[in-house]
Amino acid sequence: MLKRNPSIANLSSGYLFPEIAKRRSAYAKAHPDAKIISLGIGNTTEPLTPHIVDGLTAAVHNLGTPEGYSGYGDEAGLTALREKIAHVLYNNLIRSDEVFVSDGAKCDIGRLQYLFGPRVNVVVQDPAYPVYVDGSVMIGAAGKSGATGYRGITYLPCTASNGFFPDVSRIKKNSLVYFCSPNNPTGAVATRPQLEQLVRQAQKTGSVIIFDSAYSAFIRDPQLPKSIYEIDGARTCAIEVNSFSKPIGFTGVRLGWTIVPSELTFADGTPVIRDWSRLTTTIFNGASNIAQYGGLASLDETGLAETRLLTDYYLENASIIRKTLLSGPFSPAGVEVYGGDNAPYVWARFPGKKSWDVFDFFLDSCHVVCTPGAGFGPAGESFIRFSSFGHREQVLEACNRLSQVHLS
């Protein structure tokens, strides 16, 4: 028999979101009358908007004609979409041939981990989107989990006391640094001076940043950077991943992109873009052409206006959740509330409580599912993440229930 892959065996438990779904269904089975509302996984709920539907539909019809049919396309995506991303979303700070269209940010993060391989020092914000750590363990870049997280990973705590921006001076030589802004789960958005610090440290240490900007469309404050390439020097030290999932509800349609600047090189001088192209053309056959036409529609004037309305809707949900939590008190020690203004997540701390206990409490007392902060890393303990992706009436109902309970 084949031996189990030891790197996968090193993972300590199931992936966070299926784990939550498991607990939710066990609860639903035991309490069939409970009307459970999920503010847990960041999964979009509102329908696709009309102009984007038109873009998708036209693509489908076109594929049904002899002139319009196409099979495999360029693995890096439609030229028109790559150009539109470079122009509309990056104001030409990057070139269209540096844009690699994908089937989503999560899939690209996995492929990037493959690109850098097992012999790399991984640095993450703590808490962080679990794919950075779990994927690093799976590729062999990190070992078994100990009391303070996985061995081989440098965790940079992001807490209220540092404004959820870590001490970047702890990034050592030749590291692969995952950085997410707007942040999942804290909802914090790094300012320009903060990102300048990050880029300077990466340059000083010869490190590479994987900048995950999957929630950039939720930034409303014009002072806050939406891309790492707004920072001078980032082209020599950063890759950026992004997604159509949250801005236009493509969580199920699947479409994203990764930017690899041509100046970024490995120690031996090989351009990273060359290896990325080699890797993706070998193990990825391109994003769905239909999805790409939907993405294209989202980047013209009408599409951008629809995107704004959709993201405004979720931000309004976030504001409702924030207000509810702030008007607590839910627990004797009170609740601290962060995020939710330029990001679709509200990050709430319940001092003296364990995240999973608070998760169980809300599930049991309000039938509301949230995400336990400890699932995002050691510094997430005592926190709960509330997702603003939900129908308004469900969010209002969940908030109504939340406002009536008290943790003892």
Q: Which of 201, 227, 243, 382 binds ligand PGU (CB under 6 A)?
A: 243
Phi, psi of 322 (to 5 degrees): -55, -50
Q: Is 21 in the site for ligand PGU (CB under 6 A)?
A: no
Kindly identify the residues of this chain, within the stretch 25-44, that bind ligand PGU according to CB under 6 A.
41-42
Stretch that binds ligand PGU, among 64-72, 101-109, 192-200, 265-273 (CB under 6 A): 101-109
Q: Is 129 in the site for ligand PGU (CB under 6 A)?
A: yes
Q: Is 303 in the site for ligand PGU (CB under 6 A)?
A: no
From the CB of 19, what's the least distance to ligand PGU, in Å?
11
Stretch that binds ligand PGU, among 225-233, 243-251, 281-289, 346-354 (CB under 6 A): 243-251
Phi, psi of 99 (to 5 degrees): -95, 125
Euclidean distance between CA atoms 251 and 245, whole angstroms: 4
Q: Which of 127, 256, 303, 390 binds ligand PGU (CB under 6 A)?
A: 256
Q: Is 126 in the site for ligand PGU (CB under 6 A)?
A: no
Kindly identify the residues of this chain, within the stretch 146-205, that bind ligand PGU according to CB under 6 A.
180, 184
User: How many residues bind to ligand PGU according to rule CB under 6 A?
Assistant: 16
Q: Is 138 in the site for ligand PGU (CB under 6 A)?
A: no
Euclidean distance between CA atoms 363 and 38, whole angstroms: 9
Phi, psi of 58 (to 5 degrees): -60, -40
Closest residue by Cα to residue 44 from 311, 318, 262, 374: 311
Q: Would you say the C-alpha torsion 328, 330, 331, 335 has a positive or negative sign?
A: negative
| Alpha carbon distances (Å) from 309 to 68, 211, 320 | 32, 25, 17
Return the exposure string of 268-294: e unless at least 16 CB atoms fall within 10 Å of the residue's CB, then b.
eeeebbeebbeebeeebebbbbbbbbb
From the CB of 353, what's the least distance to ligand PGU, in Å?
21
Q: Which of 175, 245, 317, 342 binds ligand PGU (CB under 6 A)?
A: 245
Stretch that binds ligand PGU, among 82-90, 105-113, 135-143, 308-316 (CB under 6 A): 105-113
Say if residue 271 is preceded by a cis peptide, omega within 30 of 0: no
Rounded to 5 degrees, what angle do the CA atoms 353, 356, 360 make? 100
The two three-digit tokens of residue 57, written as one number? 């539909």
From the CB of 61, what's the least distance to ligand PGU, in Å?
26
From the CB of 395, what's the least distance to ligand PGU, in Å?
16
- Judge whether 341 and 318 are in contact, CB under 8 Å: yes
Q: Is 383 in the site for ligand PGU (CB under 6 A)?
A: no
Closest CB to ligand PGU among residues 205, 314: 314
Q: Is 83 in the site for ligand PGU (CB under 6 A)?
A: no
287: enclosing H helix or E strand: none
Q: Is 106 in the site for ligand PGU (CB under 6 A)?
A: yes
Q: Is 251 in the site for ligand PGU (CB under 6 A)?
A: yes
From the CB of 33, what's the least distance to ligand PGU, in Å?
27
- Judge whether 344 and 183 are in contact, CB under 8 Å: no
- Where does this chain bind ligand PGU (CB under 6 A)? 17, 41-42, 104-107, 129, 180, 184, 212, 214, 243, 245, 251, 256
